[in-house]
Amino acid sequence: MGEKGRISLWQFFLLVTGFLIGTSTLIIPVGPAKQDAWISFLLAGTLGLGAAYCYTALGRRFPRESPLQYASRVLGRWPGTCFNIIFLWYALHLAALVLRNVVDLYKLIVLPQTPVEVVAGVFAGLAAYAVRLGIEAPARLGELLTPFIIVAILVLTALAVSVPGLVHWEALFPVMERGPLPVLRGVYPTFVYPFGETVFFLVLLPFLTEPRKSFAPFARAVIIVTLLTTLVLVRNLIVLGASETARMNYPSLIAIQMINIGVFLQRLEPVIIFVWSFTILLKLIVVYYTFTLGTAQLLGLRDYRPLVLPAGVLLTFLSLSLYDNFSQMLTFAGRVYPFYFLPAYLIYPVTLLLVAKIRKIKG
Amino acid sequence: MAFKYRSNFLYAAFGLVTILLAIFLSGCWDRREINELAFLSSMAVDLEGEQRLLTYEFVRPVATGGGEKGGGTLNHRQATLRSGRGETLIDAGQQITTGLSRLVYLAHTNAVLVGEEMARRGLGEILDFVDRNPELRRTTLIMVTRGAAREVLTKVQGDIETTLGKEIMGLHKWVQSSGYGFIPTVNDVYFDLSSETATTVLPVVELSPQPFPPVIGAGTPSSGGGSGSTEGRVEEPETVRTVRLNGAGLFYHDKLVAWLDADQTRGWAWVRNKVRRAVLALPCQENNTKVAVDINEAHAEVSLDRQGEQLQGKIKLKVEGILLEQQCKLDFTREEAVKSLENRMAAQITVEISSALNQAKMAGTDVFGFGGALHRRYPEVWRQLEGRWNEEFKKLPVTVSVEAKLRRTGMTGRPWQPGAR
C-alpha cells in the first residue's frame, strides 16, 4: 500500500520504547494507590507484556499483512469492515489526544502567548512530513534520539536524587497500608495508558524485516519503559510527596525544576521539555501513520500519501476541539478513557486472534 | 533535461518555503527582550485589613563595566521597589504593572517574605500563587518576618549582594553551617504541609544594623563640614541595615501559631537533620571559662514505640565534633576529660532539643515528624489518631538521647602552658 520501507528489529524496539515513553513520563496517573503507585505501574507493565504477546501473536500469524487487510478475511466482509472503522477511529482520536497533550504543555509552559493553532500546526506539520516519508523515516528518528532520551531521563533522575535535602525516602512508606486493593485498582488505568495504546503497532508489524521475531524487541521495550517510568514515578514521589504528585499537572517537570546542584546545575527543565517534545512527536507520528495507512488499506488505495494532508488537518482540528478545558480532560483521561479505549486495545485484537485460531486462518 | 529543470525548481521552492518558515515561526508571540524585562528578585506579602499588599523587589539594571570607581555605589543594593494593593496577590501584582516601564518577569524570583499577619491568616494563597504560576518556581525560598514583611524588604540596605533576593539565596546556602535554621523552598513547605503532621517551620528574617566603613570623600554632613577638600575631615562609620535569621515560626496547617527562638530553632534543626555544622560553647569546670566544640557530623532519628496503649516518642541523635577553642587549661588528650566534655555536649544539645520540643508541644505542632513515624510503623493506630494528632502530640512522652563524640582536638593536643619550655 505504498509502503515499501522495512524496519529492523532494533529500530522497532527503539520505536516502541520512544512511543511508550511518549506521554507516560509527562502524565503518570497516581490514582488510588498513592505512595504505592509505582507498584501499580510495575504490575501494569507486566500486563503490558501480555498485551505485547497478544499483538505479536497476531503479527506472527499474518506476517506480511496489516489487521486492516486480514480482518475482513477473518471476520467476514461486513463485520471486519465495521471492526476496522472502529479501530481507525481510535487511531484518529488517540493521535488527536497526543497532539493535544503537547499543545497543552507548550501553551502553558513554553509559548504562553503563541496561538494554540500555530503550535498544533507545527507539530502536526512535522508529523505529516514524517508520515509522508514512510515508516523508515520515523524509525530512523527513533533510532537516533531514543537512546539519548533514555540517558536524559536517567541522568535527570540521578541528579534529582543527589540534590542534598530534596529527597524523602520516607514518602514511599508505609507500603500497602490499606492492603493490596488500592494498588490493584490503580493497575488497570496505567495498563491502558500507555501499554494498551501499543495496539497500533499491529499496523507496523508487517514492515519488520523479521516479523516473526517481533515479540522479543516489543517485550524488551515494555520492560525498559516500565522500569524507567517506575523510576520516574518513585523520583516524583520522594521529591514531591504522594498527594502533591497526584495533585500536579506535570509532576515530573516540577521534580526536575527542583534540581539545584551547587547553584550552577539548575533550571534543567528545557531538557525534559525536549524529551517530551520528541517522544510525543514520535508517538503522534506512529498513531498518525497508523491512521493514514490503515485508511488507505481499508479503502483499497494504492498509495496512502494523498491521505496524509487531509488526515493531518482533520486530527489537528479534532485535537483542538476535543475538550474545552482542563477539567474535561481530567474527567475524560481519568474516568472515561480506560473503558472507552477497551474496543481498540482488547476487543479488536483478541477477537481477531481467537477467530483466526478457531477458523484456522493464516497469512 | 526537463527532469533536471523540474528538480531545480523544487529546490528553489523548498528553499523559499524554508526561509519563509524561519521568518514566521521564530516565535514572535513569545519573544522577550532582556532589556524590556523587570527581573523580580524577591517579594514581600502582607495583609492590610482584607487587602493584600504586595511589594516587589526588582533587580535594577546597571551599566556594567566602567562604573564609577571608589564611589562604593556598586556595593550597595541595586534594587527597585514597587508595591501594589489588591484583593488577591495577582491583583496586587497587576497594580504594580500599571506603573512599570518593563514587563514583570517572575522566573528568577529567589525569595518570598511573608508578613506576620499574613502568616497567621495562612500561607495557602501564597503557596498557591507560586505553584500555579508557570513562571514562578517551587525552588523559591520562603520565610516569615515579625511584623510586616514590607518593613524588611524596603528598609534593608545590604552591602555584599545587590538585592535582598541574592542575600537570601546566600543565606539559604550557608545558614545550615551555623545550625541556627534552614530556609525552605516552596516545595519543602508543600511537602511538609501535605505530610501526616501538616506542620512546618519557617525561619524568621529580621533587620540587623551593622557598621559600614565610611566612604572616603563622602563624609556625613554632621562630621564633614563644608565641601571641597577631603583632608582633615573625620568620618564616622555609618550604619547599614542588613538581614539575618533569628528564630523561626511554627505553622500548623498553613497558619503561623507560635515562634521558636534561635536556640530552639537549632534544637528543631538537630532533630530534622538540618544542621551541617554548629558550635557549642561549654563550661570548662574552671572559674567561668569555656571551651568551644565545632560539631561537624550530626544525624538524628525520630521513632515511635508502643507499649500497650501507650505511645512513646524517641529522638536519637549522634553528633561528632572537634575541639576548636579553649579558654581553660584542661588537658583534652586525657580520656576522662574528653568523656566529661562529651557528656556536656550531649547535655547542651538535649536542652536545646527539649526546649524546642516543649514549645512545639505547647503549640500542638508536631514539627519533629512523630506523626509520620507513627504512620509508617503502626498504620492502624495512626488512622485512629489521625484526626486529633495535634492534641495527642501534646501528651506524647518523648525521650531524647544524644550520643556526642569529640573526635579530634584541632591542630594541637595539650593546652599551652606559659614557661613550659
- Which pLDDT belongs to residue B72? 46
- Which pLDDT belongs to residue A23? 79
Grade residue B70 by pLDDT with cuts at 50, 70 and 90: very low
- Which pLDDT belongs to residue B409? 86
pLDDT digits 0-9 by tens, B353-380: 999 999 999 999 999 999 999 999 999 8
In this structure, the strands spanning B37-48 and B111-114 are parallel
Pairwise pLDDT comparison (B62 vs B229), residue with the higher score: B62
In this structure, the strands spanning A265-266 and A260-261 are antiparallel
- Which pLDDT belongs to residue B181? 81
Grade residue B75 by pLDDT with cuts at 50, 70 and 90: low
- What is d(CA B233, CA B214) in angstroms, rounded to the nearest whole number? 11
Q: Which residues lie below 8 Å from residue B362, measured CB to CB, with a gap of 6+?
A: B258, B394
- Which pLDDT belongs to residue A298? 92
Pairwise pLDDT comparison (B139 vs B74), residue with the higher score: B139
**What's the whole-number average pLDDT of chain A?**
90
**Lowest-pLDDT choice from A21-30, A325-334, B142-151, B397-406:** A21-30
Which residues does chain A have within 8 Å of residue B30's beta carbon, measured at their own beta carbons?
110-114
pLDDT digits 0-9 by tens, B19-38: 887 776 665 677 788 888 99
Q: Which residue has the cell 569546670?
A: B285
Angle at B61 between CA B56 and CA B63, to 5 degrees: 165
Angle at B400 between CA B397 and CA B403, to 5 degrees: 165
Mutate to test the interface with A, among B175, B195, B272 (most CBs of A within 10 A): B195
Amino acid at A262: G
Binary contact (A112, B379; C-beta < 8 A): no
Peptide bond into A349 cis (omega under 30): no
Asked if pLDDT for residue B315 goes beyond 70, the answer is: yes
Q: Which residues lie below 8 Å from residue B108, measured CB to CB, with a gap of 6+?
A: B39, B40, B41, B59
Cell of B391: 492534641
Domains plus CATH for chain A?
9-359 (1.20.1740.10)
Q: How far is A251 from chain B (nearest CA, A)?
A: 11
- How large is the average pLDDT for residues B237-248? 89
SS3 B330: coil
pLDDT digits 0-9 by tens, B301-314: 999 998 888 899 99
Mutate to test the interface with B, among A108, A170, A240 (most CBs of B within 10 A): A170
Q: How far is B130 from chain A (nearest CA, A)?
A: 12
Grade residue B67 by pLDDT with cuts at 50, 70 and 90: very low
- Which pLDDT belongs to residue B224? 43
Cα–Cα separations (whole angstroms), residue B103 to B40, B58, B106, B119: 10, 11, 10, 29
Asked if pLDDT for residue A18 goes beyond 70, the answer is: yes
Q: Which of B27, B138, B187 sits opposite A114 (nearest CB)?
A: B27
Angle at A127 between CA A126 and CA A133, to 5 degrees: 95
Contact assessment for residue A152 and residue A271, using Cβ atoms and an 8 Å cutoff = yes
Grade residue B225 by pLDDT with cuts at 50, 70 and 90: very low
**Lowest-pLDDT choice from A25-34, A92-101, A172-181, B191-200:** A25-34
- Which pLDDT belongs to residue B122? 93
Domains plus CATH for chain B?
34-63+75-219+240-260 (no CATH), 262-415 (3.30.300.210)
Which residues does chain B have within 8 Å of residue A243's beta carbon, measured at their own beta carbons?
194
What ipTM was assigned to the predicted interfaces of this complex? 0.89
Number of helices (H) and strands (E), helices first, in chain A? 16, 2
Grade residue B194 by pLDDT with cuts at 50, 70 and 90: very high
- Which pLDDT belongs to residue A265? 83
- How large is the average pLDDT for residues A341-355? 92
Q: Which residues lie below 8 Å from residue B309, measured CB to CB, with a gap of 6+?
A: none
Cα distance between the two ends of chain B = 107
Strand partners, B280: B293
Mutate to test the interface with A, among B14, B26, B28, B29 (most CBs of A within 10 A): B29
Q: Which of A109, A170, A244 sits opposite B372 (nearest CB)?
A: A170
Q: Which residue has the cell 538585592?
A: B163
Which residues does chain B have within 8 Å of residue A174's beta carbon, measured at their own beta carbons?
375-377, 379
- Sign of CA pseudo-dihedral B290, B295, B301, B302: positive
pLDDT digits 0-9 by tens, A67-119: 998 998 899 899 999 999 999 999 999 999 999 999 999 998 888 888 899 89
- What is d(CA A318, CA A335) in angstroms, rounded to the nearest whole number? 21
Asked if pLDDT for residue A328 goes beyond 70, the answer is: yes
- How large is the average pLDDT for residues A214-225? 95
pLDDT digits 0-9 by tens, A169-186: 989 988 888 888 989 988
Q: Which of A111, A174, A254 sits opposite B29 (nearest CB)?
A: A111
Peptide bond into A164 cis (omega under 30): no
Cell of B377: 510503623
Mutate to test the interface with A, among B20, B30, B108, B272 (most CBs of A within 10 A): B30
Q: Which of A171, A173, A258 sits opposite B138 (nearest CB)?
A: A258
Grade residue B4 by pLDDT with cuts at 50, 70 and 90: low
- How large is the average pLDDT for residues B72-90? 82
Which residues does chain A have within 8 Å of residue B185's beta carbon, measured at their own beta carbons?
258
Asked if pLDDT for residue B392 goes beyond 70, the answer is: yes
Which residues does chain B have within 8 Å of residue A177's beta carbon, measured at their own beta carbons?
375, 379
Binary contact (B134, A173; C-beta < 8 A): no
- What is d(CA A271, CA B185) in angstroms, rounded to the nearest whole number? 22
- How large is the average pLDDT for residues B172-181? 85
State which of B73-82, B181-190, B216-225 shows the largest mean pLDDT: B181-190
- How large is the average pLDDT for residues B148-167? 90
- Sign of CA pseudo-dihedral B222, B226, B228, B230: negative
Pairwise pLDDT comparison (B142 vs A113), residue with the higher score: B142
Contact assessment for residue B209 and residue B156, using Cβ atoms and an 8 Å cutoff = no
Pairwise pLDDT comparison (B1 vs B137), residue with the higher score: B137
- How large is the average pLDDT for residues B207-226? 67
Asked if pLDDT for residue B402 goes beyond 90, the answer is: yes
